[in-house]
Chains A and B, each alone.
Chain A
Amino acid sequence: AQRVTQPEKLLSVFKGAPVELKCNYSYSGSPELFWYVQYSRQRLQLLLRHISRESIKGFTADLNKGETSFHLKKPFAQEEDSAMYYCALGGGFKTIFGAGTRLFVKA
């Protein structure tokens, strides 16, 4: 069964600290993984996708097929990173979202 697991509902870190939001997936095939972010009072928007291997706003995510993980990382968290983060698994036209992790960056 296709599934996305984000084990942490809430992650609180201090400004300047490294942050890692965990995501594990279950998918029989070649997965397409995304991270979406929702800032307060804003729409859900794509942060990054694994096929691009890009860094957006200092965030990176590496697909580890052996561990079936796609953790989101940033070396130095900023207050403006506080938001809800969803890991998502794309298969065909459908996307399965994880339950989300709320990141709170404290000053």
Chain B
Amino acid sequence: DAMVIQNPRYQVTQFGKPVTLSCSQTLNHNVMYWYQQKSSQAPKLLFHYYDKDFNNEADTPDNFQSRRPNTSFCFLDIRSPGLGDAAMYLCATGYSGGTSYEQYFGPGTRLTVT
């Protein structure tokens, strides 16, 4: 089945220790998104890629970076995680050539910062 896959599902890192979360997709969608979701809150868009074009949200901290080496993969790098970065991180894909901008989500990676 075509899908969005996130690895790992659970990640524990230490305060200040860089961490990378990964996302892959078999949908061949040209848009990929990273969201941060804290408990009982709406998903908050961090950035998205339209093909290779990176689009950062204005309020996304510099601590968060992303890479998209090819259509299928996208990475979220947190350079120096703080306790406030503990959250669920959701990857999603979308297809700009479709009739609507619906998104397809991965299962998420829950990040714990100790």
Min Cβ gap A39→B in Å is 12
Given known pairs A43-B106, A43-B107, the reply for A97 and B101 (CB within 8 Å) is no
Interface centre among A42, A86, A93 (most CB of B within 10 A): A93
Contact residues of B: prevailing secondary structure? loop
A93 and B42 contact, Cβ closer than 8 Å, known pairs A32-B100, A43-B107, A46-B103: no
Type the 1/0 row for B72-97, where 1 means its CB is closer than 8 Å to any CB of A: 00000000000000000010101010
| Cβ contacts A to B, 11 pairs, < 8 Å | A9-B40, A44-B92, A46-B104, A52-B100, A86-B43, A90-B100, A90-B102, A92-B101, A93-B48, A93-B50, A95-B103
Seen from chain B, the residues whose Cβ lies within 8 Å of a Cβ on chain A are: 4, 31, 40-43, 45, 48, 50, 55, 90, 92, 94, 96, 99-108
